[in-house]
Amino acid sequence: MVTEDDVRRIALSLPETTERPSYGTPAFRVKDKWFARIREEGDVLVVWCGSEEEKHELIAADPEAFWTTPHYDGHPVVLVRFDAIDAEELTELLTDSWRLRAPRRVLAAYEAARSVITWRRLEERDFPLLREWLERPHVARWWHHETSIEAVTRDFGPAARGEDPSEDLLTFLDGRPLGLVQRCRLGDFPEYLTELSAILDVPADTVSLDYLIGDPGQVGRGLGPQMIRAVVEATWRDHPAAPAILIPVSAANRASWRALEKAGLRRVAEGELEPDNPIDDRAHYLYRIDRPAAP
């Protein structure tokens, strides 16, 4: 649950934001454009979405948190209940809305000041850190991976030693460990390729990614999309035969598929796949981004 004070603190931390009333309630603007407003009820926030489609996806995914009224029909604006989100989700919603409304100059300066994400191949000396991440509730909820040293060595050791065609990339934010990105060519894993091909056509050279942010303090800051975007751009160089990147994600994992959308991927299919965590059903979304045309 969040409060009006949380909204004010987070909104005013964004560049060139001011607070001016709108319809008699607090509203927050970047330059002259409002990006967040507290409704008359006092416990409902109004923010911008990327599109009408995204608005309805949010409402369908979590109707307890997101809703709308006829007043906003035809507008990419969604209503958010204070008592249904936490501070991390609030930060993400406000930042996304601010980005949609900020002038290009302000947004460009904001992007230029963002931290640098780098990576290297995961090594066996990194396994204690990886175990710690896999044990964290926000990771364990979706990865559902054994965390004993034997299990981590069994599942991540071959790639770390170069004995497996997949790549495990340890990512860093300004030189400090941030998360993990797994990258593979789907043709190197025939059973997985066959499972995905039952939903849509998948060329063997297509690359897939999986990812996590290890530190819960870094979640909800826009670093997931930034990390995914950076690895996607590098993949076109590292895998010159790859025509596309295809990523399946549990339909229930709204934070994950929203991160993919912010990183530039688009939903191309829905289907049933085996979930990583057995408490989830088989419903999955498939997101894809195609190789950019040569200049």
- 224-233 per-position pLDDT tens digit: 999 999 999 9
Residue 108 has pLDDT above 90, yes or no: no
Residue 129 has pLDDT above 80, yes or no: yes
How much is the pLDDT for 264? 92
**Superfamily per CATH, domain 117-290:** Gcn5-related N-acetyltransferase (GNAT) (3.40.630.30)
Burial class for 215, CB neighbours closer than 10 Å (0-12, 13-18, 19+): middle
Cβ 65 vs Cβ 36: under 8 Å: no
Residue 220 has pLDDT above 90, yes or no: no
Q: How many helices (H) and strands (E) does the chain have?
A: 10, 13
| 60-105 residue pLDDT tens | 988 999 999 999 999 999 999 999 998 888 998 999 999 999 999 8
For all residues of the chain together, what is the average pLDDT? 94
How much is the pTM? 0.72
- SS3 track for 203-239: CCCCEEEEEEECCHHHCCCCHHHHHHHHHHHHHHHHC
CATH 3.90.1150.30 domain span(s) along the chain: 4-112
| 12-42 residue pLDDT tens | 999 999 999 988 899 999 999 999 999 998 8
CATH 3.40.630.30 domain span(s) along the chain: 117-290
The domain made up of 4-112 is a member of CATH 3.40.120.10: no
How much is the pLDDT for 294? 79
